[in-house]
Structure 1
Amino acid sequence: MADAEREHGYARYRLDGCRCYTCGYARAQYDDNRNRAIAYGTWQPWVDAEPVRVHVRYLQSCEMGLRTIAARAGVNRKNLQAILHGRPERGTPAQQKVRPSLAASVLAVEPTLENLAPSTLISPLGTRRRVQALVAVGWPQQYLAAYLGMRPNNFGQMLTRDHVLVRRALQVRAMYEELWNADPAGHGATPAGIARARRYAADRRWAPVGAWDDEQLDDPEAFPDWTGHCGTNQGYQAHYHSGIPYCQPCRDGHRAHQRQLLQAKQAASSKAA
């Protein structure tokens, strides 16, 4: 599903990395409902079904089918249908109360990659960063394409598309976990091929493996820490001395530092006058 087809809300927040007000508010509502319902899990014998109903709809908006949700939660699919729609064959409306154990089980299900359908389209950000990081440390793209069972031209197109299949994202994540600390030369890459890969990545300012924490690779708001101090003037100086192309956070940190120096100089001049 393309951006133009997926409305702003929780699904857009989780699958496309959108951080607009509407998507952020939907995520906040999601968290409030989830936390409140988990707390309700201590109530006996019944709890409000509405947070469960909201959560199931959130999961469905993230392309999880009702059968998959029921399987992940370990509950009967008909129970979820009753919560959503009631039982039309019996003429009963949507269920208003549920057992705490069922509520807790359903609310524990999250739209992680492993829980989404393999054909679901998601943001390519984490996939792209992982591939770029491997190329930056010397992995030729044709080796990575072969690892994934892809043709080189299809592999290159994957890096430029607006979305990636969940199936492919999981494959790239597994590849990254296996190869991030491996020597390309030990897997058949030639010195010339390794040098070309590193040069190709450097020309495009692709961040290497060491610049990322694993939990940041899928975060749209995260940036690579090239120097260990990126985002500060110290990081800016480290870029200069190491010959690493300046990243935007270090440019911003340097400008802020320069403004602080100018303000301090102006303040000192005012006192002297």
Structure 2
Amino acid sequence: MTTSTPTRTDAEPVRRHIRTLYAAGFTDRRIAAIAGLAPETVSSFTRPINRAGNRKGVKRTCTPSVASKILAVRAEDALPGLVDATATRRRVQALIAIGWPIEHIARHIGVTGNHLRLAMGRPRVYGRTAQAVIDAYNELKDKRPHRNGVGRVEASRARRRAEANRWPRPAYWAERMDVIDDPDFEPLYGVTRREIVAQDANFIMRTAGLNKAATAARLGVDKSYLDHAFRDHPEYAIEVAA
């Protein structure tokens, strides 16, 4: 009697394993790189809504080959010597956004504040630095700075700096861990609908040559709304005939 190899297998164990890897600081891109898969294959297990905003059903099955490759990725797999600094920078910025001064974050990972500032300004960082920031982020993101050695004035100053730069908080990234290391992903954090309309209108009017009324119609808003958007964000305003 012969037995056939199953063509599909339960996706739930794979999904649980991916979430364990997320908790260890991995992202879809990192898991995919180790497993030899496309990032979209990994993200399909945990993201019911894709990046285009279309709702998709939760994956219930997958091929045994994909399952075995993902399950083979271990949380203790070391990061390579140098990695893209995007995720490191965003994690540090998120901690600053909830009141952790960079000096305290740096001390927590065993480096100086100046060392961490320089690392944040570089396109790549050492894997050990990236991992240290992941560990610090996971430990500090749910703690209140003023109850853990940070003065209230220092914490307030850190938060104001983050607000001025529109740095997302950990709560924002909690829903977007699959793209925290993606340099092409632009977080629209702290951006109002009017600013988005002003930005889009600026692009349309410059590239398509439309006037305000036609641009507003294309964006699905009233011309008066576009006028208000340009008034609130004059850096995007374009003076053309109505």
TM-score normalized by the length of structure 2? 0.52
Could you tell me which runs of 5 or more consecutive residues in structure 1 were left unpaired when the two chains were aligned.
1-13, 16-25, 32-37, 42-102, 238-245, 267-273
The answer to whether structure 1 residue 168 and structure 2 residue 123 are counterparts is no
Q: What percent of counterpart residues are identical? A: 28
1:104 deviation in Å? 8.5
Q: Helix, strand or coil: the match of 1:130? A: helix
SS in 1 for 2:186: coil
Q: Quick one: structure 1 residues 189 and 104, their matched pair in 2 at CA, closer, same or farther if it must change by over 3 Å?
A: closer
Partner of 1:218 in structure 2?
Answer: 181
Partner Cα distance (1:104, 1:208) in 2: 33
Residues 107/159 of structure 1: CA separation in 2 closer, same or farther (3 Å cut): closer
Amino acid aligned to 2:182: D
Q: 1:184 to 1:254 in 2, by over 3 A?
A: farther
Q: CA deviation at 1:260?
A: 5.6
- The SS at the match of 1:138 is coil
Residue 208 in structure 1 maps to residue 169 in structure 2: yes
The C-alpha deviation readout for 1:62-106, integer Å capped at 9, x for no partner, is xxxxxxxxxxxxxxxxxxxxxxxxxxxxxxxxxxxxxxxxx9867
Cα distance in 1 for residues equivalent to 2:152 and 2:102: 14
How far 1:210 sits from its partner (Å)? Answer: 3.0
Judged with a 3 Å threshold, the aligned counterparts in structure 2 of structure 1 residues 205 and 131 are, in CA distance, closer, same or farther, namely same
Cα separation, partners in 2 of 1:185 and 1:251, compared to 1, 3 Å: farther
RMSD after superposition: 4.1
- The question of 1:261 aligning with 2:216 is answered yes
Structure 2, unpaired ranges of 5+:
1-28, 31-35, 42-61, 205-211, 224-242
The size of the alignment, in residue pairs, is: 161
Aligned mates of 1:184, 1:145 — CA distance in 2: 14
Contact 2:93 2:167 in 1 (8 A): yes
Residues 254 and 181 (structure 1), Cα distance of their counterparts in 2 relative to 1, 3 Å cut: farther
- Any conservation in 2 of the 1:120–1:165 contact (CA below 8 Å)? yes
Residues 139-167 of structure 1 show CA distances to partners (whole Å, capped at 9, x for unaligned) of 11111011001111111111011211222
SS at match of 1:189: coil
CA separation of 1:224 and 1:173: change in aligned 2, threshold 3 A:
same
CA distance in 1, matches of 2:184, 2:120: 19
Shift of 1:40: 8.2
Deviation at 1:108, TM superposition (A): 5.3
Q: Which has the larger radius of gyration?
A: 1
- What residue in structure 1 maps to residue 77 of structure 2? 115
